[in-house]
Structure 1
């Protein structure tokens, strides 16, 4: 019998896992459990639960804010999956994806991140948000070559702009308190006000 070798980079707490195995697990879990999405980030299985109302409100605010500033880009907030991480073996569902409007037409459940100019996450009130949103996802998005990662950190009351991605993560980070003007570098190249975030929950 031929031995099957699994990529050690995909090891989870229960042992190594194939990306294809994860995709089967994700389909089954998401089909049977309403409001739950499953991700594979840094070889670790993670669960994204139903967000609270302020979480959705923040994403809607960002969508409406960005649209007139750059009409060639659209903030997709539909739970589109992306192939991320080293060699794109991870699987993530960003809260928002800034990309041209038709980027994911016919792309399937786990799309290439090539057209993505910015991934957006809004922190959730769960025990996993620190590991997931502040540590694992910045690395996975950088390794996938996504130019900007925008983290709206409700607990810290800050927006964190990550840019200049490489295999070791994002090399440039800027933190902006809620209420200040936030500048997004190329290829987005816009500045916007965040005063409204002060009233959108913590």
Structure 2
């Protein structure tokens, strides 16, 4: 984690300055950068099997997307100026107009769905800071796939404090994804592959 720099006793840079720093940051291969709690946070890319999990989520939700919306697990930066946050969610769905820009800073309020697959380094923020930020921005559904605890949590009914409603199931069970998707997510393929036994 890179803390906000202070130069000669001056104030730390504001949110826009941090976004500019993020644009100029030379992130090492295998890492992504976000702005969380006033800091630029660099975290490693996901484990290999996470790709399968992300594809399974996209495949199941794509037929249920609201009209004009798209879902992807590509690396995009969504900005939340009111919260001074900028996240690169693992899975995201938004109206196609959200992508009609030449900027690499997408409007976080355009999201209709977001999902994060936790890692050891990002888990706390996925479970706390992002819950509050996505909820305040009015993102209808936030899905947390807790890869350490092997459980899926759907959050909905966004509010100023985060989300008012939640449902958690262990991997392997079905999870109801509420409006605007109104479908069931099968999590049976979300468990890690078994490691081969050493001989």
TM-score scaled by length of structure 2: 0.82
**1:123 match:** 118
**1:3 match:** none
Report the 3-state secondary structure (helix = DSSP H, G, I; strand = E; otherwise coil) of the residue aligned with 1:150.
strand
Deviations 1:105-152 (A, max 9, x none): 32521111233111110012x3x3232211111111112111111011
Distance of aligned partners of 1:71 and 1:91 in 2 relative to their CA distance in 1, 3 Å threshold:
closer
- Say if 2:15 is the partner of 1:50: no
Q: Supply the distance in 2 between the matched residues of 1:45 and 1:24 (Cα, whole angstroms).
A: 11
Q: Supply the distance in 2 between the matched residues of 1:14 and 1:71 (Cα, whole angstroms).
A: 42
Q: How many residues align?
A: 187
Matches within 5 A, 1:21-40: 21-29=17-25, 31-40=26-35
Report the 3-state secondary structure (helix = DSSP H, G, I; strand = E; otherwise coil) of the residue aligned with 1:145.
coil
* Cα distance, 1:17 vs structure 2: 3.3
Report the 3-state secondary structure (helix = DSSP H, G, I; strand = E; otherwise coil) of the residue aligned with 2:34.
strand
1:167 to 155, 160, 183: 160
After TM superposition, where is structure 1 displaced by more than 6 Å over at least 4 residues in a row?
A: none
Q: Determine if contact 1:76/1:99 at 8 Å carries over to the other structure.
A: no
Report the 3-state secondary structure (helix = DSSP H, G, I; strand = E; otherwise coil) of the residue aligned with 2:138.
coil
Report the 3-state secondary structure (helix = DSSP H, G, I; strand = E; otherwise coil) of the residue aligned with 1:61.
helix
**2:80 match:** 84
Structure 2 segments unaligned to the other structure (5+ residues): 7-11
* Cα distance, 1:100 vs structure 2: 3.5
Matches within 5 A, 1:181-196: 181-196=174-189
* Cα distance, 1:25 vs structure 2: 1.9
Higher helix share: 1
TM-score scaled by length of structure 1: 0.81
Q: Supply the distance in 2 between the matched residues of 1:55 and 1:111 (Cα, whole angstroms).
A: 24
* Cα distance, 1:36 vs structure 2: 2.4
- Say if 2:154 is the partner of 1:154: no
- Say if 2:95 is the partner of 1:100: yes
